[in-house]
Every structure is written in structure tokens, then in C-alpha cells.
Amino acid sequence: MNTKKPGIVLVVGATGSVGRHVVAEAVRQGYKTRALVRDASRAGRLDAGAQKVTGELTLVETLADAVAEIDAVIFTQGSSYGDAAAAETVDYGAVKNVIQALGGRRVRIALMTAIGVTRRGSTHDWKRRSERLVRASGNAYTIVRPGWFDYNDDDQTEIMLLQGDTRHAGSPADGVIARHQIARVLVDSLVSDASDRLTFELVAEHGPAQESLKPVFEALDKDPAGSLDGVRDQPNMPADAEPERVRRDLAALAANNQS
């Protein structure tokens, strides 16, 4: 069974290397696609079928137009690896700000983070914290952890979804995936009941691309209800040891869900 197809889809990180593919794929699939950009005059590479809306993802007060009447949001933004300040304001902050701008209104969320996100001691900790915000928000969601971008062989087009985040080589040995494949998975996840409350790593294997991803989603285990982490993730990031500002953000979301 599929859910009702969302009407307006907001793409955060729309001008990035994955975001551009997501915008094009959402337009191709017939969504009313809204691309969040800093400067509309610099968004010429985006699909002409998308609406461009200006806003700064690190400033919640600029996002009212971006989230107005949306039914779904796809997050593809990402900071430079190793930049701790940007990781907090972009990887984590953009998710926090969009959820806050929604003011408790429920939408479908697809969040892109990264394979190896549960390995501690890197700026990926902020991506993992963004995942926790999404799980705590009360929204229907899919969290996608792609492998290394565009290292695929020509015949490496079969979509493979993994769980538990066990690949921590820090190289393409963890798995590879094309940017256009990431876009397809993110957009396809918006209408599938099977993909709701899923967290998975995304890689490509040798073989043909599947016609439908619904059976691929259905083969996975859902995140436990009320959990801050993905199913089978290592319990190596205790919530009570998190920075106070992060605990405060999660507490605010929990309070909103109870009101």
C-alpha cells in the first residue's frame, strides 16, 4: 500500500551535487518541486520545472516562504568534511530550522546523511544528531545513508539497502552509489508506506536497476518506535551525554509531540 502522493516537495541543499539530481527527479516524477536557494539568480543549473525560493538554511527566520504549504521535504545539504562549526550549522542546523519553521505541522521527510555516520569522533556526529531530530519530530520519515558518490562501474546499478552501519573503512570499499540513484531513492521514499520509519545505508551492486523499490523497502526492519537511533545502530552515542543544546532541542520536540 502506498500513501497519498505529496503535493509540494521542498528540496534543501538543492544546488548541491546531489540536490540538483533530486530536484530533477522530483520534477520528472510529477511533484510540485520547490528548491531552496540562497540566491535565485545563481540557480540556473536547476531543472526549469522547479520553483526557486530564497532562504538561508542556517537562519530559521528566512524559511517561512520555503516551508509554506509543503507536504514533504528532502534534505541533501552537507558541510565540508572536518569543519565542525559548519557541520553543526548546516548538517544539523538546517534540519532543526526547517522543523522549527514548520511549527508542528506534519510533513513527510527524507534525510540524506552518510554511510559510516555512527562511527564516533568525526563531524559525522552532527549528521547523526540530525537523524535523531527527524526521528524525534513525529513526522513520517526515511533516512538514507549513501556510500561514496559516483564510483560505480557501468553495470553497477542494482540498489542495495543495508542496516546497522557496519562499514567503516572510510573509502569506496564501504560501498558506492551514483548521485542520480540517491535522488531516485530519496524521491521514491516519499510515497511508500514501506519506507516510513526506515534508516538504511545505500549502495549499488553489479546488476540491473530494479523497476520498483517497494520490495526493497519492504525487506528492511523499521526503526523501533520512540528510538532516537536507527535499527541495529551501535549504542555508542548516549543521549544523556550529548551537548546540552542538543538535549534541549530533543526535549522541545518531545514536548511538542505530547501537546
Average pLDDT over residues 218-245: 96
- Whether the pLDDT of residue 2 is over 60: the answer is no
Residue 137's pLDDT band (boundaries 50, 70, 90)? very high
As a whole number of angstroms, the distance between CA 84 and CA 9 comes to 29
What the block records as the C-alpha cell of 84 is 565542525
As a whole number of angstroms, the distance between CA 252 and CA 9 comes to 25
- Whether the pLDDT of residue 42 is over 80: the answer is no
Helix (H, G, I), strand (E, B) or coil at 98: helix
- Whether the pLDDT of residue 4 is over 80: the answer is no
For 9, 68, 126, 184, the CA distances from 32, given in Å and listed in that order, are 6, 13, 30, 16
- Lowest mean pLDDT of 14-28, 74-88, 140-154, 207-221, name the range: 74-88
Please indicate whether residue 79 or residue 188 has the higher confidence score (pLDDT).
188
- Mean pLDDT (the chain, rounded): 94
Neighbouring residues of 259: CB distance < 8 A, sequence distance ≥ 6: none
Q: What are the pLDDT digits (tens) for 93-107?
A: 999 999 999 999 999
Q: What are the pLDDT digits (tens) for 163-200?
A: 999 999 999 999 999 999 999 999 999 998 999 999 99
Helix (H, G, I), strand (E, B) or coil at 81: coil
pLDDT of residue 29: 96
Average pLDDT over residues 4-21: 92
Residue 259's pLDDT band (boundaries 50, 70, 90)? low
